[in-house]
Structure 1
Amino acid sequence: MQSTLSISALFIGTILASCSAKSEKKQEATAPTLPVIQLIQQDATLDRDYASNLEAVQNVEVRARVAGFLDKILVDEGKPVHKGQLLFQLNPTEFQVEVDRAQSNLQSATAQAESAEVEMGRVKLLVDKNVISPSELKLARSKMATARAGINAAKSALAKARFHVSLTSIRAPFDGVINRIPFKQGSLIEEGALLTSISDLRQMYAYFNVSEKEYLSFIKKRLDPDKTTVREVDLLLADDTAYPLKGKIETTETEFEDNSGTIAFRATFPNPKRLLRHGSTGKIRVSTDVDDAVLVPQKAVFEVQDKNFVYVVDAQNKVSSRSFVPRSRVDQFYIVQSGLKPGDRIVFEGIQSLKDGMSIVPKPLPAKSLQALYAAAR
C-alpha cells in the first residue's frame, strides 16, 4: 500500500514539475521583447528658456520744441539716418521776425549806450571844472550802466530768437533708423508734438525675468566656475528660429518685482543686419553645462499623480515601477535628481502595456545609443 502511495506521489510530483516547466516556458514565450537601457553618467547641457522683450540700445522720441507749420519731411519711415542729419523743417518765418526785432533792439541799445558814454564824458569834464556837482557824474554813470545792461539783454534776446530759428530744423541725435512719422507735410505742429522716434539698432537689449531661486543659482554658478559654467545666451525669435549671433548677460536689476517675485536680467546682442527691432519679442535660452548627469529618455517616463515613474528591470528580468525626481528637462531627456542611479536598467519603449511583476525579454541597447540619442536631440 505504501509502495502504491509513493509511486502515486512521485507521479503527481512529476506531472506538477512538468506543468510548472511548461508554464514557465509559456510565460517566456509570451513575455514581450522590449529595448532596455542601462543608465550611465555623462556630461549634459541644461537649457532654460525665458520670455524676453527686445529694446534698442537707444530709442529716442523726436519731438518739436517749437510750434509751426511742417514745411519739409526729409526722411522716410524705416530708413537709416546719421547723427546731425536734417529730418524735418518747420517754417522759420515767425522766428526770423523775432531775430530781426532782436537785432533792431540790440542796435538801439548799443546806440543808447554810446550816447550814455558821451554824456558821462561831458558830465565828468564839467565836474572836474566844478561847474556841476559830483552827483551829476554819479547819475551819468548809472545811466551808462543801465545802457550797457540793455545791450546784454538785447544780445540775450537775439541769441534766444536765433535759437528758436535753429529749433525749426530738427536733426537726428544719433545714428539710427527712423520709425513711424504721424504727420504729413503742411501740418500745424504744436510744441512738444511727437514727430517720430529713432532707434539705434546696432545692438539690442534683451530683458528677461527669472525667479529668485534661479537668480541665486545663476549668480553662484558665475562665482564658482569650476563646478558649472554659464555660457553665452542664445535668442529664439518669435517664429522659434534661432538668432545666429550669441548674446552676453551684462547686468541685472537691483530689485525683485513684488507681484511676481522675479528679477530682470539684461543680455546684449549684436545686430549688424538690423534683423532685431525695438519692441519685438523672443525667448532667451540660457545653457548650463552639467557634469556627470544621469539622463532618462522622456519616452521611458510615465506620470501618475504628478509624479514621474519608469519601469526598472531586475536581475530576473521582471519589471517594477519606480518613481524618481527630475532636476530639470533637457530636450527629450530628464536629468535625474534622485530615485535612479547609474547602472539601473530601465525599459526604453513599450511601457504602455507593462505592469509591476511582469517578465520581459530585454533587448539591451548599448550606452552609446543613449549618447547618440542625446546628441541627436541637441
Structure 2
Amino acid sequence: MNSADTSSTASKASLYVAIVVFTAALVLLLVAAGIGNAAQTPQARAPMSVVTGTVKVQQQFETPISVFGLVESPKSTSLSFDTGGQIEEVLVEEGDAVSKGDIVARLDTQRLRAQQEELNASLVRVKADLNLAKINNDRTQSLVDRKLESAQRLDETNASLSVANARVDEIEASLNSMKVALDRAVLYAPFDGQVNRRFFDEGSVVNAGTAVIGITSNEKFQARFAVPADIIDQFDIGEPVIIQIGEQNAAGVVTQRLSVRNIQTRTVDILVTLNSNDKVRPGDMAILFGARSHNEQGSWLPVTALSNGLRGLWRVFVLGDAAQSESGTALEARVVEVVYTDGNNAFVRGALKEGDRYIVDGTHKLSPGQRVSAASASTQAQTQTERKSYSELSAPESGGQSGAQNSAQYAGVQ
C-alpha cells in the first residue's frame, strides 16, 4: 500500500468519526427537548376556558319589516278660475302663508262689467215696457167692464203683460249670473295654509279650470303607507306609532285604515297623522316599522356562536353530556341551518335541544372532541340571545341605521 492510499483511508475514517459524533449529539439534543416538553405537558394541555350560553327553543319567531310611505298634507288643492280670461293680479308668492278667505288672484273683469252695464240698461228698458203693459192692461180691463172693448183685446193685453214680466225676470237672472261671474273672477284661499305653487303671472290668459295657485294646508301632516295584508291587523286606529322620516323619528297616531285592498299591490293603505310638522314636508319618505311572525321551531343564537360547516350548513359547539372534570368537558359539533339573521343574532334550526350549553364565541379556535373549561355567559351575552318580539322594540334612534338597512333576508320572506 502506497502513501496515497494510506492518506485516503485516514480521511474516510475521520469523516465516519465526525458523522457518528454529530448523530450522537443530535440524538442527545432531541432527547433533551422531549424531556422538556414532557415537563411542560400538564400546563399546555390545560382545558381552554370558554363562555357558554343556554339554548332556548321557540315555536315561532318574528322578523322586522319596514313599510315605506310618503308624507302628505291632509288638504292640498290647486285653485283655478271657472271662467277663462286674462289674469289681472296675483297677490301671493310661493311660500307665503295664507288664511281662509284671503284673496290670492284676480281676473281682468272689464268685459264682464261692460256686459253688466249693458244688462242694467236692458233691465231699465224692459221695466219701462212692463210698466206700459200694466197701464194698457188696466185701461183695457176698465173698457171691457163697461162693455166698450172686446174680451179678445183684454186677452192680448194680459199676454203682453206676462211677456214684459218674463223679460224683466230674464234680465234680472242674467244680472245675477253676471254677479256670480264677477265673484268667481276672484280666487280666495279655501283654508289656512301655505302657497306651494304659482303657475301663472299677471297678464297670462288662462282657460276655465286651469290651475293658477297651489295651496297646502297647515294642519298636521299625514303619512300614507301601503301595508301588506298579513300585518295590517298590527295597526289599529288610534294606536300611537313611531315612524322614521329622514334621519329623525316622528311620533304619530294611526287615524285611518282603508277597508279596500289595492287590486294591483294587494296592500291596504293606512294613514298616520303626525303629532308635529316640525322638520317635515309633504313628499318626504317615511318608514313604518312592523313585524312578521313565522311558525318555525328553532333557537336564537349570536352569530359569533356559528362556524362554517359542510354543504352550506353551520356548526355550533356544545358541551358534551359528560360531567366536567379537571381536564374539562369534551366539545360536540351540532349541525344547524340558519333560517334568519339580523347581522348580530341568528335564528337556527337543527340538532339543538332545550338546555344545551353552546359556546358563545371563539369557535375558530375549537374542534370536536376538544376539552374546554366552561363558564356561564355574561348577562349581556344572554340578553343578545333572548329576543323580544319586534313589536316591543323601539324604532332606531335618530341618526342610526333604519330598519331597512339593518334587516336581513329570511328564507322565502323579505
Give your verdict on TM over 0.5. Answer: yes
In 2: Cα distance, 1:142 partner to 1:279 partner = 66
Find the aligned partners of 2:124 and 2:243 in 1 and give their Cα distance.
64
Alpha-carbon distance change, 183 to 357 in structure 1, aligned in 2, over 3 angstroms: farther
1:283 matched residue in structure 2: 287
Task: State the match for 1:75 in structure 2.
Answer: 92
Length-normalised TM-score, structure 1: 0.74
Does the Cα contact within 8 Å between 2:337 and 2:348 map onto a contact in 1? no
CA contact (8 A) 2:88 2:108 kept: yes
In the other structure, the counterpart of 2:378 is 366
Indicate conservation of the 8 Å contact 1:208/1:265, yes or no.
yes
Q: 1:49, 1:306 → 2: CA distance?
A: 32
Q: Measure the CA separation in 1 of the matches of 2:270 and 2:44.
A: 60
Displacement, 1:85?
0.7
Which of residues 263, 267, 273 is equivalent to 2:267? 263
Report matched runs for 1:1-378 at 5 Å: 29=45, 33-39=49-55, 47-215=64-232, 218=233, 232-237=240-245, 239=246, 241-248=247-254, 250-258=256-264, 260=265, 262-270=266-274, 272-273=276-277, 275-286=279-290, 295-300=300-305, 309=314, 311-315=316-320, 316-323=330-337, 325-326=339-340, 332-334=344-346, 343-351=355-363, 361-371=373-383
- Which whole-Å CA distance do the structure 1 matches of 2:334 and 2:203 have between them? 81
Distance in 2 separating the partners of 1:285 and 1:213: 14
Higher mean alpha-carbon deviation, 152-161 vs 348-357, is at: 348-357
Alignment RMSD, CA only?
Answer: 4.0
Aligned with 2:248: secondary structure?
Answer: coil
Q: Cα 1:50–1:89, aligned 2, differ >3 Å: closer, same or farther?
A: same
Distance 1:306 1:249 in 2: 50
Tell me if the contact between 2:100 and 2:191 (Cα under 8 Å) persists in the aligned partners. Answer: yes
Q: How far off is 1:115 after superposition?
A: 1.5
How many pairs are equivalent?
337
Per mean C-alpha deviation after superposition, the further-off stretch among 348-357 and 141-150 is 348-357
- Write the letter of the residue equivalent to 2:90: I
Instruction: Give the distance between the partners of 1:264 and 1:306, measured in 2 at CA.
Output: 41
What are structure 2's unaligned runs of at least 5 residues? Answer: 1-37, 321-329, 388-392, 397-414
Q: SS at 2:77's partner residue? A: strand
The structure showing larger relative contact order (alpha-carbon pairs under 8 Å, at least 6 residues apart) is 1
The one-letter code sitting in structure 1 at the alignment partner of 2:268 is: A
CA contact (8 A) 2:53 2:359 kept: yes
Residues 49 and 165 of structure 1, relative CA distance in 2, 3 Å threshold: same
The CA deviation string for residues 264-310 of structure 1, in whole angstroms up to 9 with x for no partner, is 221222354453322332211236999xx964335545798998856
- C-alpha distance after superposition, 1:198-232 (max 9, x if no partner): 111422232222333334xx26x969xxxxxx963
Unmatched tracts of structure 1, length 5 or more: 1-21, 224-229
Deviations along 1:82-122, one digit per CA (max 9) or x if unpaired, are 11111112222121112212222222222222221111111
Aligned to 1:251, the other structure's residue is in SS state strand
- Supply the AA of the counterpart residue of 1:370: Q
How far 1:163 moved relative to its partner?
Answer: 1.2
CA gap 1:37/1:157 in 2 versus in 1, 3 angstroms: same
Question: Which SS does the other structure have where 1:192 is aligned?
Answer: coil
Q: Secondary structure at the match of 1:243?
A: strand
